[in-house]
Amino acid sequence: MNLSPVPIRFDEARPRARAIAYDAAADGVDVLLVRDVLGRFTLVVDDRASGGVLADRVVALNGRLAAELEPYAAERPLLLASELFSADDLLGSERAQPDPLHPRAEGHGGVRLLDNTVVGEDWAQVSTPAVESDGSRTHRTALYGFKGGVGRTTATALLARHLADQGHVVLVVDLDLESPGAGPLLASGALLPRHGIVDQLIESALDNADGLEVVAPTRYMPRAGRGELWVAPARGRGSQGTPYSYVDKLNRVYADIPGMDFADRLAAAVRACEDAVAREGESGRRPDVVLLDSRAGIHDIAAVAISRLCDLALLFGADNRQTWGGYGDLFAAWQSSGQAAAIREKLRMVASMVPDSPQRPMGAYLESFREHSWECFSVLYDNDEPEPETGLLVPGAFSPSLEDDSAPHHPIPILFDPGLVGLDADSAPGWQDRAFVQAAYGEFLTTSTLLITADPQSDEGP
């Protein structure tokens, strides 16, 4: 019984609930700990195979949950699967994850966790896009910054041009729906397609997306003849005479529809844009490189872009508390939902707006960045302590050292240069050779291109 006068808060509830779940599993039954949208816990005991749980045990567990979790116990804190209508839905949910802190012990049942949130569930659902049916590979890269204003969209535009220069068919998808940038940046107004990603999401919900114009070629002329640069903007240019209600559409795009949640719908929208490039382009080629300009912050679009849509995520940041605090929270969420191993090798830090002045030399700045980045990533890395009996690291352990320059935490630098301000409209031929572009973006463009075009199935992946 908890007699403490101090109220139980959100963070204290989970370890307590897990401890009770683990005790319940010690009876040899599988249990599922469900957290609801307000943070309250229900423990579902799967008694269907075991032929029942003793009534005394049920009463005891129910009482413990209510007493130890206080407001964080659900109205019915303990449920037996045999008495539920929806036991199969709950216990068979793909969203239920094994508890990473409690591996299954001999003779115990399993403990799994099912978290229900209002937004952001896709952070805990990591997967990587599959190879196309014809065996070709579309390289999808998300560009993300925890904080905005770090030059992410400008870098996206330059990287897209660079990749097109290398002969790739590049599609930039502006997923920053709340503050579109890449669309207008890459295509001047007249060239924007009639429709945008929001139109694709709205119309496809009603099975009405055929004939939408969601991509447009940019005016950029790549150096290599075969390269192409396309853009799928968040907002289209609309039709003359009909008001374009961007906000009214935006306020509806996050809807789940029967059979498809928002993540499925966003994935389908990106694919529709890729198909449109092949359909509308003179070459008929599908994009082989897709850059997803994700929005900043811990947001659903970013969650889907990073967790599901891409095979590489470039994480932008500056060496400051805001950056590391934010990435620290995000990485902790991946770790606690059991996603660390699935996500970490997709990630790569980009140090943006790196200073280089006598007061703040670049070398020292990047060294400090790398140390903070490594500390932050360590929650996603495996333990690097050797096994006591053998003195060897656990086979297959992923635990890069601070110095490892191919590790996710190792920053790819972009230098800050005053010449970059106002670069937005700069698509003139020869931009690549300008000294300040070379100095600021040279390493970013080269390294990112290598990472993006590497076969993720090989050892040379990011």
Do 402 and 369 contact (CB within 8 A), yes or no? no
Whole-number Å distance between alpha carbons of 290 and 163: 10
Q: Is 131 in the site for other proteins (CB under 8 A)?
A: no
Q: Work out whether 62 is an interface residue with other proteins (CB under 8 A).
A: yes
Binding mask 243-262 for other proteins (x = CB under 8 A): -----------xxxxx---x
Q: List the one residue from 74, 155, 187, 273 that touches other proteins (CB under 8 A).
A: 74
188 binds other proteins (CB under 8 A): no
The only residue of 80, 268, 298, 333 in contact with other proteins, by rule CB under 8 A: 80
| Closest distance of CB 369 from other proteins, Å | 37
Site membership for other proteins, residue 391 (CB under 8 A): no
- 76 near other proteins, judged by CB under 8 A: yes
Residue 23 interacts with other proteins (CB under 8 A)? no
Which tokens go with 18?
A: 């897990």
By DSSP bridging, strand 312-317 and strand 139-145 are parallel
Task: Give rounded-to-5 percent helix, strand, coil for the chain.
Answer: 40, 15, 45
Q: Which of 24, 29, 44, 270 binds other proteins (CB under 8 A)?
A: 44
Q: How many chain residues interact with other proteins (CB under 8 A)? A: 34
CB of residue 232 vs other proteins: minimum separation in angstroms?
23
Asked whether 409 and 370 are in contact (CB, 8 A), the reply is yes
* Residue 118 binds other proteins, judged by CB under 8 A: yes
List the one residue from 12, 23, 27, 36 that touches other proteins (CB under 8 A).
36
Candidates 30, 42, 112, 151: give the one binding other proteins (CB under 8 A): 42
Q: Would you count residue 83 as binding other proteins (CB under 8 A)?
A: yes
State the amino acid at position 219 in one-letter form: R
Q: Nearest Cα to 40, choosing from 62, 73, 67, 64? A: 73
Strand partners of residue 41: 35, 73
Is residue 92 at the binding interface for other proteins, with CB under 8 A as the rule?
A: no
Please name which of 171, 235, 238, 231 lies closest in space to residue 197, comparing C-alpha atoms: 235
The CA distance from 57 to 363, in Å, is 62
Work out which of 25, 34, 126, 423 binds other proteins, going by CB under 8 A. Answer: 34
Please check whether residue 377 is in contact with residue 411, taking contact to mean a CB–CB distance below 8 angstroms.
Answer: no
Out of 75, 94, 282, 433, point to the residue binding other proteins (CB under 8 A): 75
Scanning 38-46, 183-191, 411-419, 432-440 for contacts with other proteins by CB under 8 A, the matching segment is 38-46
* 14 lines the binding site for other proteins (CB under 8 A): no
Q: Which stretch binds other proteins (CB under 8 A): 32-40, 97-105, 162-170, 230-238?
A: 32-40
Token representation of residue 80: 């037996």
Name the amino acid, one letter, at 160: A
Regarding 134 and contact with other proteins (CB under 8 A), the answer is: no
What's the burial of 342, exposed, middle or buried (CB within 10 Å: 0-12/13-18/19+)? middle
Choose the stretch contacting other proteins; rule: CB under 8 A; options: 69-77, 270-278, 310-318, 406-414.
Answer: 69-77
Q: How far apart are CA 186 and CA 181, in angstroms?
A: 9
Question: 155 with 350: CB under 8 angstroms?
Answer: yes
Q: How far is the CB of 36 from other proteins (least distance, A)?
A: 3
One residue of 14, 16, 69, 77 binding other proteins per CB under 8 A: 77
Closest CA to 186 of 212, 162, 223, 217: 217
Who contacts 97 (Cβ-Cβ below 8 Å, separation ≥6)? Answer: 112, 113, 114, 124, 337, 338, 339
- The residue ranges that bind other proteins (CB under 8 A) are 34, 36-38, 40, 42, 44, 55, 58-59, 62-63, 74-80, 83-86, 89-90, 116, 118, 205, 254-258, 262
